[in-house]
Amino acid sequence: MAQSTRIGGVPRVDRAEVLALPVWRIRLNLMWRGLRANAALFAENPIGLVGLGIILFFALMALAHPILMSTVWDKGTYDPVLGIDLAIPLHPASPSATHLLGTDPLGRDILSQLMWSARSEFALGIVAALVTVVIATTVGAVSAYYGGLLDTVFMRLADLIIMTPFVTILIVLSSLFDVKLIELALVVGIVSGFGAAAIIIKSQAMTIKVRTYIEAARVAGGSNAHIIMRHIVPNLLPLSFLYMMFTVTSAIFSEAVLSFFGLLNIRMSWGLMIHTTEYTGYLLDIGKWWLIFPASLSITLLCAAFYLVGRALDEIVNPRLRRR
């Protein structure tokens, strides 16, 4: 039987052999095994796969843009911000062979804008998600481990953040300050890091804190920092990863809303494309669908994709939700 000799893709070795391996190899093997098991669980969930497919599609779009710009597309015509097609007398022009998704009222290629913006959406999402994970995991682990005043302060802060309407605050914030993409990513990351994610991760850390291996580590003389970093945080990472997905959704959504209202200092984005449509007066002109549908659908799809992947991961992290 192939199953008994290979567990999770790693060849079975005896105990002596395992002990002879360097520690990092054992860790790597274990990680690989866990990943494979989780990937198998993930693959069972069609909804999660749909989400992953959409994300890959947009990632390919983002990657293809610079390649297209340097090969097929002429810089003057297809630049997402400054380009204009002078061969067409009237803009917005409907989709044609030269402009697959038509042009916007200022004569710029919609497809190029769409692909160029995908890259900044990903950058925004990744930065926001990383900030969230770092903050939420640290806050969660520290406040669960130490408790007391620190815990109270962090948890009250999280309560406050949960209660405040976030987009509303961002709107006011962007009227007071000059908000660019990177600032937005940081604000979204920090706010979601100190918000709901911190509470969920803290409650997970509370259950880890009372496990026997924490006790063992303490008896063995591990310092607080060592226990938090080596024993608590690694066990929190799956849950943090889940919250990364939800943060990406909220980052993309807030960016789209803010740039739709024209409050963001940004060169081009999906939200800004709809903003352009709005201030040139084509907003309710559904006959010119390419002015509003591609950008809106991209926002919706990418938000939904990250949310779906988050839900699928949720079923892996919380076995309670799995279908039995």
Partner 1 sequence: MRGYILRRVGQNILTYFFFLTMVYVMIDAQPGDYSNIYLGDPRLTPDQREILRARLGLDKPVTERYVLWLKSFAQGDFGVSFSNYPRQVIDVIIERAPRTLVLFLTATVVAFYMGFLSGKVLAWRRGGFTEYATTIGGVSLYTVFTPWFGLMMIWFFAYTLGWFPIGKFIDPIVWQDSPLSAVELFQRMLVTGMMATLALFAWLLVVQRLETSRRRVASWAGVAVVLAGILAYWLPSGVGKYAADILWHLILPITTLALISFAGTMLLTRNSMLETLREDYIMAARAKGLTEKSIRDKHAARNAMLPVVTSFVFSLAFALDGGVITETIFSWPGMGLTLLRAAVSEDIPMAIGALVFTGALALTAHLVADILYAFLDPRIRYA
Binding site for partner 1 (CB under 8 A): 46-47, 156, 159-160, 162-169, 171-177, 196, 249, 253, 256-257, 260-263, 274, 283-284, 286, 292, 296, 299-300, 303-304, 307-308, 311, 320-321
Shortest Å distance, C-beta 307 to partner 1: 5
Shortest Å distance, C-beta 125 to partner 1: 13
> What does residue 101 show for φ and ψ, rounded to 5 degrees?
-115, 20
Q: Which is nearer to partner 1, 61 or 214 (CB)?
A: 61
Q: Which is nearer to partner 1, 84 or 173 (CB)?
A: 173
The type of residue at 105 is: P
Shortest Å distance, C-beta 169 to partner 1: 7
Shortest Å distance, C-beta 9 to partner 1: 31
User: What are the structure tokens assigned to 270, written together?
Assistant: 């999906």
Q: Which is nearer to partner 1, 128 or 227 (CB)?
A: 128
The 3 state secondary structure assigned to the chain is CHHHHEECCEECCCHHHHHHCCHHHHHHHHHHHHHHHHHHHHHCCHHHHHHHHHHHHHHHHHHHHHHHHHCCCCHHHHCCCCCCCCCCCCCCCCCCCCCCCCECCCCCEHHHHHHHHHHHHHHHHHHHHHHHHHHHHHHHHHHHHHCHHHHHHHHHHHHHHHHCCHHHHHHHHHHHCCCCHHHHHHHHHHHHHHCHHHHHHHHHHHHHHCCHHHHHHHHCCCCHHHHHHHHHHHHHHHHHHHHHHHHHHHHHHHHHHHHHCCCCCCCCCHHHHHHHHHHCCCCCCHHHHHHCHHHHHHHHHHHHHHHHHHHHHHHHHCHHHCCC
Q: Which is nearer to partner 1, 219 or 284 (CB)?
A: 284
Shortest Å distance, C-beta 141 to partner 1: 22
Q: Which is nearer to partner 1, 128 or 214 (CB)?
A: 128
CB atoms within 10 A of CB 60: 12
Q: Which is nearer to partner 1, 83 or 294 (CB)?
A: 294
Distance CA 49, CA 139 (A): 31
Q: Which is nearer to partner 1, 37 or 173 (CB)?
A: 173
Q: Which is nearer to partner 1, 156 or 267 (CB)?
A: 156
User: What are the structure tokens assigned to 61, written together?
Assistant: 């779009």
Shortest Å distance, C-beta 168 to partner 1: 5
Shortest Å distance, C-beta 114 to partner 1: 14
Shortest Å distance, C-beta 230 to partner 1: 33
